[in-house]
Structure formats: structure tokens, C-alpha cells
Amino acid sequence: MTFSASHPLVDGRTSDSPLIAAYQGRRPDRRPVWFMRQAGRSLPEYRKLREGTAMLDACLDPGMASEITLQPVRRHDVDAAIFFSDIVIPLKLAGVDVDIVPGVGPVLGSPVRTAADVAALPELTDEALNPIREAVGKTVAELGSTPLIGFAGAPFTLAAYMVEGKPSRDHLGPRTMMHADPDAWGALTAWAADASGKFLRAQLEAGASAAQLFDSWAGSLGLADYVNHVAPASRRALDHVRGLGAPLIHFGTGTSEILVAMHDVGVDVVGVDYRLPLDEANRRLGGTVPLQGNIDPALLSAPWNVLEEHVRSVLSAAAGAPGHVVNLGHGVPPETDPAVLTRVVELVHSVAP
């Protein structure tokens, strides 16, 4: 399977963009920057458009999802769009009873805890992904030479929500299940891998130029659990989109101790959270892996001179890496002043790459 001739990476629209160049380990003439969670609650135009529409309904309305994806690109001059959707959309499209409760996060009608629960999970069909393809197609038609990044949740983070049935702090349910019932755990993470893999593939085929796997909660795992009970499923998710030529990025939080194992599932770029300086991340990864990160989101509310110094230190800490895409060390906090994000973009672009 290959991309069609009209895909932005094939027809040349995005293949030499600063983002794709940096992801491929080249040094483009400006340092690319985008922000995780740039599409969303920190923007007044987002809040206005979303009024009266539930989160998952907004994700499944191709016109609305596309418009929300484009808003931060217009406003901030970031070097990439991130597709407006959510990690639980593949579950929803498969027919799982899931919703996103404002202020809480993903909540399931019934948690998935036994082998029988896993066996009863519906399969995600290719056809169900049509609203995603349509939204991506509309978005890419507007973006021109700015690449769209597709994304999905990694199987552990998805399974963490599915087993608990709601957000949790320590993820005890999934961490127990992987040892207490490894067969059911293996089946659950394989199901989640295929759902996320199909979701990623739909976005890439419809025109996304890169794809990021979010394993937001992988930092709750020790290395042995990650390698033995999680990494094979993450690899399986990415197998759905390998070899297309689109850079693959892997990100999680609290992952300093498992960074190498996250690279080893087979990705081109590692996203680093705010806890680990990029020079140390680069050292741990052997100096061969392009990095993404890692401005501390907490500093977006600090005085400008404090934030500026921090951004400059992130840029210099990445100097030894083969490529660097500037991002936050986690998502944009909802209360962030959007003008600060615009100013960070201007600063990053003003510094010699």
C-alpha cells in the first residue's frame, strides 16, 4: 500500500516543509513549532464554535472538525496542524458506549475487565471511518504547504480508560490486569492497537503527512511492564501505517525511564515531556533520533522574560539532536493566553535554526 499521487507528501506540498524535514533528521531554515492541544479550549473562536455541540459530536462533524483544526494555524503561524479529534473516537466509531464528560474526560458505559468483555468488543469497520477521511480531506485542501499531523492513542492509554471506565490517577486496574490475566490483557491491547492503527491509517491516506501515537499514561509503568505488556501492542498499532513514508512520532508523559523502549517500537521521532532536558534525552537515545518538545506548559503563565529564557534553553538543549521540532512537554493548558502562544512561535522562528 502506498499513498496516492495527490497525497501532500507525494505531490510535494509538504515533503520539504520545515516540519517534515526536521522529523526526517534534516535541519530546515526555520525551527518548526506546533503545540499539543493547540486545537481547543485555549482559543475563544474554538469555544464559540463548540457552543451547544458535545465534544464527540464536534469530532464527527467533518466541517466543524476541519475548522477547529485550522483555527490555531491561522492564528499562530505554527508549522503544523494537529487533527481535531480524540483518542476515544475509534472506540466510539466501533460502537463502544463512550463519551467525553466535560471536566472529567473519557467515560465508558461499562468497563472492559474480563476475557468475555474483550471478546464482546465490536470491530471497527473501514466504513465507519468515513467522517474522519472527509474531515482530513477538507482540512488538507485548505492547508496548502502546512502539514497535517494525524494521531491516535496508544493501546496502553486507551486500555487504561477502558479498564477503569473513566480517568484514573495510578491506572491500577490495567496494571493489575496485565499480570493477573495476561491473555485478556493481550487481547484487549491487540483490539485497541487495531482500532488506533485503522484510525491512523484513515487520517494518513486522506492526506495527513505525519502521525503521532500518544501514550499519555505510559509513565505509570516500569520498564519491564512496558517492554513485556505494552510495547508489542504499540508496535502493532504502528504496523498499520509503517512504510508509507510519513514520519511516526511517539509521545508520553513521565517516560524518561522508558524513552529508549518507546523508540524501539519503531518510530522516527520521540516526543519528550517537560521533565527530561532534551540534551539528556538525546544522550539516552544515542544521538540518532530527531526529538520533539519540550517547553514546560506551566511556564506559559510565567512572566515573558522567564518564558523566553526557558524557550531559548529548550532550543539550545536540542542542538545535538539530528532534528528538532519545538513543542510543549504536554498539552496547552485551557487557561493559556493565546497571545503567548503566538509570541512563542515568533520567538522560535526568530532564532537561527
CA distance 189 to 226: 12
Q: Does 344 bind ligand CP3 (CB under 6 A)?
A: no
Note whether 160 and 171 are within 8 A (CB).
yes
Rounded Cα gap, residues 32 and 164, in angstroms: 37
Decide whether 56 or 322 has the Cβ nearer to ligand CP3. Answer: 56
Interface pattern 196-215 for ligand CP3 (x via CB under 6 A): ------------------x-
Question: Is 274 a residue that touches ligand CP3 (CB under 6 A)?
Answer: no
Nearest-approach distance from CB 352 to ligand CP3, in angstroms:
28
- The rounded distance, in Å, linking the Cα atoms of 46 and 38 is 10
3-state secondary structure of 95: coil
The correct pick among 14, 17, 24, 38 for binding ligand CP3 (CB under 6 A) is 38
* Nearest distance in Å: CB 40, ligand CP3: 3
For ligand CP3, the binding residues in 293-332 under the rule CB under 6 A are 331
Closest by CA to 207, choosing from 135, 154, 103, 277, is: 135
Count of chain residues binding ligand CP3 (CB under 6 A):
24
55 binds ligand CP3, rule: CB under 6 A = yes
Tell which residue, 64, 63, 72, 90, has the closest CA to residue 34: 72
Nearest C-alpha neighbor of 69 from the set 135, 18, 167, 25: 135
- 108-167: which residues touch ligand CP3 (CB under 6 A)? 151, 157, 167
Shortest Å, Cβ 85 to ligand CP3? 6
Q: Are 85 and 57 in contact (CB under 8 A)?
A: no
- How many CB atoms sit inside 10 A of residue 17's CB? 22
Which backbone phi and psi does 152 adopt, to 5 degrees?
-155, 160
Query: Which residue in the set 42, 216, 327, 336 belongs to the binding site for ligand CP3 (CB under 6 A)?
Result: 216
Decide if 74 is catalytic.
Answer: no
- At closest approach, how far in Å is the CB of 287 from ligand CP3? 27
CB of 119 to ligand CP3, least distance (A): 25
Nearer to ligand CP3, 157 or 234 (CB): 157
Any contact of residue 103 with ligand CP3 (CB under 6 A)? Answer: yes
Q: Could you tell me which residues are beta bridge partners of residue 249?
A: 212, 269
Cβ 331 to ligand CP3 shortest distance, Å:
4
Query: Is 161 one of the catalytic residues?
Result: yes
Backbone φ and ψ of 107, nearest 5°: -130, 130
The amino acid present at 59, given as its one-letter code, is C
DSSP 8-state code for residue 33: B
Q: Which of 19, 33, 60, 82 binds ligand CP3 (CB under 6 A)?
A: 82
For residue 40, state whether it binds ligand CP3 (rule: CB under 6 A): yes
Q: What is the CA angle 47-211-68, rounded to 5? A: 15
Q: Write out the catalytic residue numbers.
A: 37, 41, 50, 86, 161
Contact set with ligand CP3 (CB under 6 A): 36-41, 50, 55, 82, 84-87, 100, 102-103, 105-106, 151, 157, 167, 214, 216, 331
